[in-house]
Amino acid sequence: MRVHVADHPLITHKLTVLRDKNTASPTFRALTEELVTLLAYEATRNVRTEPVKIQTPVIETMGVAISHPLPLVVPILRAGLGMLDGMVKLVPTAEVGFLGLVRDEETLMPTTYAERLPDDLSNRQCFVLDPMLATGGSLVAAINYLFDRGAQDVTAICLLGTPEGLKAVDEATQGREVTIVLGALDEGLNERGYIVPGLGDAGDRLYGTV
Ligand code: PRP
Ligand code: URA
């Protein structure tokens, strides 16, 4: 598993405002979108391309186009939906599939309540969007879902992650091509499975249900 933790003052600044409990939903949503676009730049570093011939106003030259099958972006409902616009801004030709997972707040185990993905993901590069990598249970479930359908490689973009979550994903995906791109690696989890220092419940803060 490859892990990339962002190291850029703009990202740290935007995360600081996002973490602040006084930041209201409209600003939280706008910042989430901006952060994803910045993180997507690194996450798509290995997106597959193929050579194309084009004509500039001056000369014929070679460039690249994103290869088929096109990358598949998979936001994890509900909180991951707040990351979708920021991602497709950077990769507008990507296809989008949906996975709905919810974590039981007592057991911390995820269950799947919705799925709308292509049946066959052979040779697909998949990009999972979920703001929070806490225990890792939800991300492991999502990644396994995609590999079970034949995905070639999976890159997850999360705004915040924990060492516990990274370890869980690493152990569950041995031998698979997995990349995790984080906005920040936080200290760990509290007794309720929340990320510390974290930002609270990402879904509630995005959608104003606090
Ligand atoms: C949050 C978050 C992740 C999950 C992370 O979703 O968006 O999917 O928790 O926790 P884990 O790493 O311990 O599995 P939640 O289940 O609260 O659902 P929501 O997006 O609908 O709020
Ligand atoms: N899910 C969240 O939304 N926040 C956390 O801190 C952990 C899981």
Q: How far is the CA of 49 from the centre of ligand 2 (A)?
A: 35
Ligand 1 contact, 200 CB (< 6 A): no
Residues 118-129 have a mean pLDDT of 95
Q: Whose CA is nearest to atom 4 of ligand 2?
A: 201
**Ligand 2, pocket-test mutation among 19, 102, 104, 132, most atoms within 8 A of CB:** 132
In order of their start, the domains of the chain are: 2-207 (3.40.50.2020)
Give the closest ligand to the alpha carbon of residue 188: 2
Burial 114-148 (b: 16+ CB within 10 A, else e): eeebeeebeebbbbbbbbbbbbbbbbbbbbebbbe
Mean of pLDDT over the chain: 97
- For residues 163 and 177, give the distance between their C-alpha atoms in angstroms, rounded to a whole number: 19
- Residue ranges lining ligand 2, Cβ < 6 Å: 79, 132, 134, 194-195, 198, 201-203
pLDDT tens per residue across span 60-115:
999 999 999 999 999 999 999 999 999 999 999 999 999 999 999 999 999 999 99
For the cut 80, the answer to whether the pLDDT of residue 209 exceeds it is no
Residues 157-164 have a mean pLDDT of 98
Ligand 1 contact, 108 CB (< 6 A): yes
pLDDT tens per residue across span 177-186:
999 999 999 9
pLDDT band at 47 (very low <50, low <70, confident <90, very high): very high
For the cut 90, the answer to whether the pLDDT of residue 210 exceeds it is no
